[in-house]
Each structure stands twice: as C-alpha cells, then as structure tokens.
C-alpha cells in the first residue's frame, strides 16, 4: 500500500503570506496526485490534479508541483477564505490521502 | 444543481447494520465511478470503497472488506453502502465522491474525486 505523509500538520500564517505544504509518497506515484481543501462541516473541494493542474474555478493563487515521491501545494498570497485543512491524495494505485494540514490564523 | 447528498447515518450498536445512500443530481450518474470516503471525528480522510460506472466491479479498504458492500442503482441515480458487523472504530462521517475515471488523449489519468457530498454521520456505540 502507498502511504502519504503531509507536513506540517498545522501551519499558522497571516493574510498575504506565502504558504507551502509538503506531501511525500512512500513510493513513486508519477504525477498522480491531487490536492483538496476542506472547511469544517463541509465537503472537500478539489483544487489540483495531476500534481500541478488547477481545477476549473480554483483561484490562481493555488499551485502545485512535484513528481515521483515529493510534492508541494503553494498558496501565493493567503486570503481569509483559505483558512482550512488541506489534503493530498495519490491515485497511482487505489486511493490514499495524507493526514492533512490545518492552515490557521496566526 | 450538480450535487451529492448522503443519508442513512445514525447511532447503531456494535455488531449492528446500517445502509447509507448517496443521491446524485445534475449529471449523468452512470458515466462515473463512485467512492465512499470516511472521516472519523477530528481526523483525516480515509478511502473506504469504490464501484465502477455500471456496478460490475468493486474494491474495498482492508479495514472494511467482508463487512461493507458498495452498490449502485443507475436508474435511481443512487449510490449505496451496506455496512454490517459495525465496530466502534467505524464511527465517522461518510462522504460519497465522484470520480470521472478516464484517460485523456495525452494518456493522463483522471481518477481523482471532483465532486463530494457533505457526508452523513455514523456513530457506533453501546
């Protein structure tokens, strides 16, 4: 089974900050990685697929990069609506999620 | 409106059974793979099960294999999860999710979850 490890688990930041979240896979997953945003009590929302492709309707301040086993999600300038929990997910072999990164207000 | 709406959650005793439903609207249900993903209180997302577009193929996480059954009724635009022999550790919000599941002309996989429901809470407790 492929394990996904996210870091950090919690991140404190201010509006306007550049934020980076890391996701590591236990084996190569090529570029078959997605990122999701989830707010409390709400459904997760797809942000990025194929490691770096922005889902339609997602603001351009979100970007993804990486391949193989190491990936990053970057928010170029954090906005008030971005305080949420972010999950990576591999879809190379079945589907596995990272443990999540909570982005909170500093 | 394009949406997924789960129902059927509730409180059940260990060893009991429950059937969850996911009603879909606004898109051609029979064109998509579907999944169940659960989230224990305060915890992360965990994939549970998937079913292909015509219902002929299914897969399960090891933690639920042999106890849970995923199915779908494309005529009723509804996805199901039959949960038997429930355990305390099955307590979670259960989300259904849509998977376009195709290869594009570049050979890229589109196997991610592009639409989710808000979930239904299952509590297993005596």
pLDDT tens for chain A, 106 residues long, are 999 999 999 999 999 999 999 999 999 999 999 999 999 999 999 999 999 999 999 999 999 999 999 999 999 999 999 999 999 999 999 999 999 999 999 9
When CB atoms are compared, the residue of B46, B109, B118 closest to A91 is B109
Question: In a 3-state reduction of DSSP, which class is residue B120?
Answer: strand
Cis peptide before B40 (omega within 30 of 0): no
For the cut 90, the answer to whether the pLDDT of residue B103 exceeds it is no
Percentage of chain B exceeding pLDDT 90: 93
For the cut 90, the answer to whether the pLDDT of residue B104 exceeds it is no
The structure tokens 């942000």 sit at A47
Residue B114: what are its φ and ψ, rounded to 5°? -95, 0
Query: Which residues does chain A have within 8 Å of residue B109's beta carbon, measured at their own beta carbons?
Result: 32, 50, 91
Query: Which residues does chain B have within 8 Å of residue A46's beta carbon, measured at their own beta carbons?
Result: 112-115
For the cut 90, the answer to whether the pLDDT of residue B116 exceeds it is yes
Q: How far apart are CA B55 and CA B47, in angstroms?
A: 18
When CB atoms are compared, the residue of B45, B112, B118 closest to A91 is B112
> A72-76, B8-12, B42-46, B106-110 — which is least confidently predicted?
B106-110
pLDDT at residue number A48: 98
Which burial class, exposed, middle or buried, applies to B2 when counting CB atoms under 10 A from its CB (0-12, 13-18, 19+)?
exposed
CB contact under 8 A, B50 and A43: no
């Amino acid at each position: 089974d492929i394990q996904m490890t996210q870091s950090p688990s919690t991140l404190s930041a201010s509006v306007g900050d550049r934020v980076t979240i890391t996701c590591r896979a236990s084996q190569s997953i090529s570029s078959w990685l997605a990122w999701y945003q989830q707010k409390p009590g709400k459904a997760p929302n797809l942000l990025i697929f194929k490691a770096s492709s922005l889902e339609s309707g997602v603001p351009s301040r979100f970007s993804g990069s990486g391949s193989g086993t190491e990936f990053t999600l970057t928010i170029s300038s954090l906005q008030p609506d971005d305080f949420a929990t972010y999950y990576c997910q591999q879809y190379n072999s079945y589907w596995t999620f990272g443990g999540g990164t909570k982005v909170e207000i500093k | 409106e394009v949406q997924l709406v789960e129902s059927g959650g509730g409180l059940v005793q260990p060893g009991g059974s429950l059937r969850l439903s996911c009603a879909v609207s606004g898109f051609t249900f029979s064109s998509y793979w579907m999944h169940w993903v659960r989230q224990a209180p305060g915890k992360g997302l965990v994939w549970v099960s998937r079913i292909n577009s015509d219902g002929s193929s299914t897969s399960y996480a090891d933690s639920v294999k042999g106890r849970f059954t995923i199915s779908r009724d494309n005529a009723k635009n509804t996805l199901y999860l039959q949960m038997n022999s429930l355990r305390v550790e099955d307590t979670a919000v259960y989300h259904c999710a849509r998977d376009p599941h195709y290869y594009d002309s570049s050979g890229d996989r589109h196997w991610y979850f592009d639409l989710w429901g808000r979930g239904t809470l299952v509590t297993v407790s005596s």
